[in-house]
Amino acid sequence: MTNFLLLSSEQQKMQLLLLLYACTMCIIMLFANGTGDEGDSVYHFLFAKYAGQYPAHFFDHWAKPLYVLLAFPFAQIGFNGVKLMNIGWSTLSIWRTYQIAQHAKISTAWMAPLLLCSMPMFNSLTLSGLTEPMFAAWLSSALYFLLKEKWKTAILLLSFLPFIRSEGLLVLGWAMLYLLWAKQYRLLPLLLVGHIGYGIAGSWVHGDVSWVFTKMSYATWDSAYGKGTWLHFIERLPEIVGSPLAMMFYCGLLLLVVQVWKLILREHSKQESSFVWLIWGTAFLYFFAHTAFWALGIFNSFGMLRVMVGIAPLLAVVLLQQMQFLLEWIDQSNIRQWCLYILFAAIVIYPFTGHTYAYAWKRDFMLRADQQAQTSIPVWLKKNKPDYTQRRFYYEASYLSVLLEHDWWNPNQHRRIRGAFELNEFQKGDILIWDDWFAVVEGLCEWEPLEKDKRFQVIYTTSAKDPWNNDRTTKVLEFVGDSN
């Protein structure tokens, strides 16, 4: 009975933490106008917002069909709607982190969700339109149900994971190996439910049921963004989880070797083996896969750090075990416990220290510099080009669609710069908005040749400095026609 009361008390504290986290993030949302990032976050929001007008969005592989479906009602509220949705997903991730740590019989299981809450990028991306928070909650839920041997629920959840993020395919493959190891052969076909369901449902858009494989946006053996180094994610881990947790990760890598060795020698109990397979195995498979994708320059990888937020709940549990593993050399249990608490306190306090990888309000929660600069464009247009709502616009920065209240897919309102010069369908009075990132990288439009094109006239320039003191410039040009 005593144990039950203690467990209940700890669970109540966790529930209080969930409520506190959700309320805090909602308050921050009201004061922070940021979008998490200025590209994909906004683009995902636009796909969800306009899905009612373009039902094909519900079956768009890049936009992620399940994300669009679940985000659709929230996106109708506005960008804060998808932020609110992601607050819900991140809150669920925190709860699953606690449940997984508790299932693993970690004596200080309550620390795991607090470690997750201490990861700066986990929180900053919660206030975005990105898919990582949903993926993290969905993945951690499915793995928790697998640990509890709620087989059908877990496998059905996993079968739909690739329709939130493409890495779900990796997890499906790993889950298949786990089911073989666990001798759950009859459940293997359930891994295909998501693909079969979406294949049939989306066949009216794509013409056949195989679109779930043939239309994958990242199924390419190269990357438009080049490639990086094998140590990219290791070196920049402090930016994701904070410096103290990153140091813990580096020091605790020995535990990974120990866990794998015990698994090979079958020294683990069945429950411990399942935990190593599902939590450690999934986390490191995901981490290594992204490392390889960027180092080899394949699958259109850009080496984005934010992808690791997808496994943040797993990392929190792994890091807690690493902390305890590193302190095992201390013989006296009371001293070991105090060291654990001091280390834990340092990790939790770190995000508020102002260190390079700690929270920075403007960098993490407010609009990026290019977005800040672009907020002046509608104001200038209303004053100087009052008929701008009747004109066609060309631009690549998706946030401009939010500012200008444009339907990104309506060619009478917006067209992309990419390919526009080859089509050459410009009309007198068209507005082209060039920015120093998206127009260049996505639109393949460098400033120098555009500046020399006398058919366009610069009518407005705006810029703002980013946290690294770089000028982020956006130029508004008007198509005035041929100079002849």
**Is the pLDDT score of 419 beyond 80?**
yes
Residues 6+ apart with CB under 8 A from 69: 51, 58
Nearest to 327 by CA among 318, 342, 341, 339: 339
Segments making up each domain of the chain, as ranges = 14-365, 369-479
pLDDT of residue 255: 64
Q: CATH fold of 369-479, please?
A: D-Maltodextrin-Binding Protein; domain 2 (3.40.190)
Q: Which is it for strands 414-415 and 456-465: parallel, antiparallel or unpaired?
A: unpaired
**Is the pLDDT score of 64 beyond 80?**
yes
Return the number of other C-beta atoms located less than 10 Å from residue 249's C-beta: 20
Distance CA 453, CA 451 (A): 6
Distance CA 227, CA 294 (A): 5
Nearest to 122 by CA among 292, 251, 245, 288: 245
Q: What is the mean pLDDT of residues 84-109?
A: 94
Return the number of other C-beta atoms located less than 10 Å from residue 467's C-beta: 11
The C-alpha torsion from 198 through 201 and 205 to 211, rounded to 10°, is: 30
Distance CA 484, CA 477 (A): 19
DSSP state of 57: G
- Identify the residue with better confidence: 337 or 290: 290
pLDDT in tens, 428-482: 999 999 999 999 999 999 999 999 999 999 999 999 999 888 999 999 999 998 7
CA angle 313, 314, 319 (to 5 degrees): 100
Distance CA 165, CA 134 (A): 9
Structure tokens at 194: 């998501």
List the strands of the sheet with 431-435, edge to edge: 414-415, 393-394, 431-435, 471-479, 456-465
pTM of the model: 0.92
Distance CA 322, CA 257 (A): 12
